[in-house]
Amino acid sequence: MARVFSGIQPSGDLHLGNLLGALVNWVNHQEEHEAVYCIVDLHALTLPKDPEELRSSTLELAQLLMAVGLDPDKCTLFVQSHVPEHSQLAWLMECTVSYGELSRMTAFKDKSDRSEFISAGLFTYPALQAADILLYDTDLVPVGDDQRQHIEITRDIAERFNHRFGETFVVPEHVIPPAGARIMDLQHPERKMSKSQHSVNGTINVLENPDSVRKKIKRAVTDSDGEIRFDFESKAGVSNLLSILGAAKGDSPEEVAKSFERYGDLKSAAADAVVDLLLPIQERYADLQSDPAETRRLLQAGAEKAQEVASRTLTRAQQNCGLLQA
């Protein structure tokens, strides 16, 4: 069975774009693969964070992921800082990647342009991400296209380490999830739905109440030609509604387009589908929230499961690169 690894930062809230784009695939992968999912709290520290907020968003994200369908019996779900091997291997990764390679990372350039305090950790972020992935002898990393450079540098680091010190790491492949829908902002359908754009009316939170979901979808930007077809180039707003409805129902947007003639009907159907999708998630989330101790117990069990694999890989790497065994 192929091993799949993915990571998600505990910052901001989950929105419909995350749910229909990435998380649907995460849930599917746990059925077909050996799936390892990590809440990357150490990566969150690369930008200034309020301690209480980091702590609560880490726990909340774990609860949300379980509510969405990640099942600790089927996958390994854990918090990065609970498995110290991530920090330990990150140092070896930092010593395997060059300053020049890290300087070419576009994610670093974007984030450092927007931040007044540029931490060294923000610069070496890809080394920690490489450690995350390589610790688990990962075959496949299902992440969006925005992570392409990070996966490529991980492969380069693995190959270089193997070349220098002998076979140590599995060289992972990047898979761009095929099933995930690209969900756009409801008010600015030319850009992706995003938690960082501060587009309150363009973004639907996974925990949003039904009234608010309906209002936002009703107010979604369309166009004036009145035609319903899936064509992102010239009809971004309508196409986005078709994507949302299609993804929520498990149909293709092209197929969904055939059933509607009026924008108003499409919007009500999309709103119903999103509400139907979110309500059970919100109920499971409320259940999990009522018992935080249980979530912590599940996360601890996840960390123990992860550590069994991670500690073996770390030891192999330490020995191969010449560290004296303790």
**30's tokens:** 């746990």
By CB under 6 A, tell whether 6 contacts ligand TRP.
yes
Which of 59, 141, 238, 271 is in the footprint of ligand TRP by CB under 6 A? Answer: 141
Q: Does 203 bind ligand TRP (CB under 6 A)?
A: no
| Chain residue whose CB lies nearest ligand TRP | 7
Pick from 15, 82, 150, 155 the residue near ligand TRP by CB under 6 A. Answer: 150
Indicate the residue among 7 and 246 with the shorter CB distance to ligand TRP: 7
Stretch that binds ligand TRP, among 139-147, 156-164, 234-242, 280-288 (CB under 6 A): 139-147
Q: Which of 49, 74, 195, 249 is catalytic?
A: 195
Active-site annotation holds for 74? no
Instruction: Tell whether residue 9 is a contact of ligand TRP (CB under 6 A).
Output: yes
Q: Contact between 41 and ligand TRP (CB under 6 A)? A: no
49 as an active site residue: the answer is: no
Considering the complex, state which of residue 154 and residue 239 has its C-beta at the smaller distance from ligand TRP.
154
Catalytic choice (49, 74, 109, 192): 192
Residue 294: count other Cβ atoms within 10 Å of its Cβ: 13
Q: Which of residues 117-136 bind ligand TRP (CB under 6 A)?
A: 129, 132-133
Q: Minimum Å distance from CB 131 to ligand TRP?
A: 9
Q: Does 155 bind ligand TRP (CB under 6 A)?
A: no
Q: Does residue number 143 form part of the binding site for ligand TRP (CB under 6 A)?
A: yes
Q: Give every CB contact of residue 11 below 8 A, 6+ residues apart in sequence.
A: 44, 49, 57, 195
Sign for the CA dihedral angle at 208, 277, 266, 202 comes to positive
Strands 76-79 and 173-175: unpaired
Question: Count of alpha carbons within 13 Å of 152, Cβ hemisphere only?
Answer: 11
CB 233 within 8 A of CB 179: no
1-9, 25-33, 173-181, 205-213 -> range binding ligand TRP (CB under 6 A)? 1-9
Tell me, by CB under 6 A, how many residues bind ligand TRP. 13
Binding flag, residue 214, ligand TRP (CB under 6 A)? no
| Contact status: 96 vs ligand TRP (CB under 6 A) | no
Give the residue with the Cβ less far from ligand TRP, 12 or 210. Answer: 12
The reply on whether position 147 binds ligand TRP by CB under 6 A is yes
| Nearest to ligand TRP of 5, 263 (CB atom) | 5
Positions touching ligand TRP (CB under 6 A) are 5-7, 9, 40, 43, 129, 132-133, 141, 143, 147, 150
